[in-house]
Amino acid sequence: MVDDDGYFGEPVAASYDDSSVEMFAPDVVGPAVEVLAELAGDGRALELGVGTGRIALPLSQRGVEVHGIDMSRAMVARLREKPGGAAMGLTIGDFATTKVAGTFSVAYLVFNTIMNLTSQDAQVDCFRNAAGHLAPGGCFVVEVMVPDLRRLPPGQNTVPFHVGDNRVGFDTYDLATQAMSSHHVKVEGGRGSFRSIPFRYVWPSELDLMARLAEMRLRARWEDWTGTPFSGESRSHVSVWERTGA
């Protein structure tokens, strides 16, 4: 059963920062904040799926006014407890459709969050929602994995992403629908737990078409936040689309 916070309720929020500690490292956060601050300029930034503020808080510390949208009250509560979090504009809601007041120079989604929208329609709605919040010439930025389907031999639908002494993680794929799920098995103190989160993987070219439907055009695409050129061997990408519509 999924609670009102979706798949990121209190049990996940309580340990989220610790379980993703490598994503909070300065050499990971710093380049992302640098890119987003440059795109924001003197304007405002909108984070879709703001979570516990991994990017939003350091971006606001750079002097950028940041507003965040997230469905999880538990994750947002953790953000509010952090220095600077209580003063940040935050809205509870589905980031594919939730509207907030004002316009923004940049809207962004990081760390595969676009895949939390588990249908193509929802992902298209997200692009339209982002574009609707942007000032003319504003940018929408998405950081997301490239589907790693080359690791799937014929007849197999499962790829492990972590195998440790007390934790196993693996992804399952449905190639017909682009549905996937990440499964987490953990054993602590002789007791086991299991958690599964659904996603929908999406290709760069598919995202470009979603952007066109939302009257945006591709401005830049890199393998990572440091500007490494994107290639056929890249396992992730950071893409920037610019609003062209009135």
Give 33-68 pLDDT, tens digit per residue.
999 999 999 999 999 999 999 999 999 999 999 999
Give 113-171 pLDDT, tens digit per residue.
999 999 999 999 999 999 999 999 999 999 999 998 988 988 999 999 889 999 999 99
Domain ranges of the chain: 10-146+203-243, 149-197
DSSP state of 233: T
Give 182-211 pLDDT, tens digit per residue.
999 999 888 999 989 999 999 999 999 999
Q: Hey, which residues does 197 pair with through a beta bridge? A: 182
- Report d(CA 143, CA 221) in Å as an integer: 10
Query: What is the assigned CATH class of domain 10-146+203-243?
Result: alpha beta
- Report d(CA 205, CA 203) in Å as an integer: 5
Q: 149-197: same fold as 10-146+203-243?
A: no
Are the CB atoms for 238 and 207 separated by under 8 Å? no
Q: Hey, which residues does 160 pair with through a beta bridge? A: 170
The fold of the 149-197 domain, in CATH, is N-terminal domain of TfIIb (2.20.25)
- Pick from 151, 245, 148, 146: which is nearest to 205 by CA? 146
Q: What is the pTM of this model?
A: 0.92
